[in-house]
Amino acid sequence: MIVNDRITSYIHSLDSGNGSLCDAIEEEAALLRIPVIRRETAAFLKTLVALKRPGAILEVGTAVGYSALLMCRAMPEDCHITTIEKYEKRIPAAKENFKRAGEEKRITLVEGDAGEALYTLSGPYDFIFMDAAKGQYPGWLDRLLFLLSDGGVLVSDNIFQDGDIIESRYAVERRNRTIHARMRDYLYRLTHMEELETSLVPIGDGVAVSVKKERVKA
């Protein structure tokens, strides 16, 4: 945990839930050991969506559709979500969950690798949520910024890698070193690009919130 466990437990105690369906999906995912957004991060994500009031959302990493349905609860009625998932075993579950929620018309599921799928989309998107393969974040960044509207928000989840991000390369398990290096590169770019205003928030496993600055008209 990035945040003290007692604080996290207290935050959870105040959580009012996300409706019977989303709560059931969260429980099902836990039983099947399918990673979904953490409860405290979920509340933060919904708040950001409600604050931004986007007209179009892009999500990279659908899993079983939990986070997409969370955003549906906070976004404007006329907003549309495009979400990308490549893991074939999870796609039917996501589609079924969208159907159970009656949100098929407001959510489009794009099947396939995000590195390819992103180039089939034209955007612009007012809000992008990144929750997929962490080692791929740097390679996708330029395309994501192209798809993000001026003033748009990019939210990247799991950026602290259970605390490993602050460790030196040699303190991290050998199998995790490539992801560790790529995430450090990603966070450096987010925080040093002139076109972005970025904050790294120590909630859940870490969330980066980046706003694409509006271009000044000549």
CATH number of the domain at 151, please. Answer: 3.40.50.150
Tell me how long the chain is.
218
User: b or e along 175-197 (b: 16 or more beta carbons within 10 Å of the residue's beta carbon)?
Assistant: ebeebbebbbebbebbeeeeebe
Query: What is the C-alpha R_g of the chain?
Result: 17
Domain assignment present for residue 201? The answer is: yes
Domain assignment present for residue 217? The answer is: no
Domain count, the chain: 1
Closest CA to 129 of 207, 186, 15: 207
Domain assignment present for residue 218? The answer is: no
Q: Rounded distance, CA 11 to CA 108, Å?
A: 32
pLDDT digits 0-9 by tens, 156-194:
998 886 656 656 665 666 666 666 778 888 999 999 999
Domain assignment present for residue 89? The answer is: yes
Range of the domain at 188: 5-212
Q: Rounded distance, CA 113 to CA 60, Å?
A: 10
pLDDT digits 0-9 by tens, 81-124:
999 999 999 999 999 999 999 999 999 999 999 999 999 999 89
Domain assignment present for residue 125? The answer is: yes
Closest CA to 189 of 150, 151, 158, 159: 159
pLDDT digits 0-9 by tens, 14-66:
988 899 999 999 999 999 999 899 999 999 999 999 999 999 999 999 999 99
Q: Rounded distance, CA 82 to CA 110, Å?
A: 7
Domain assignment present for residue 202? The answer is: yes
Domain assignment present for residue 90? The answer is: yes
User: b or e along 91-121 (b: 16 or more beta carbons within 10 Å of the residue's beta carbon)?
Assistant: bebbbebbeebebeebbebbeeebbebbeeb
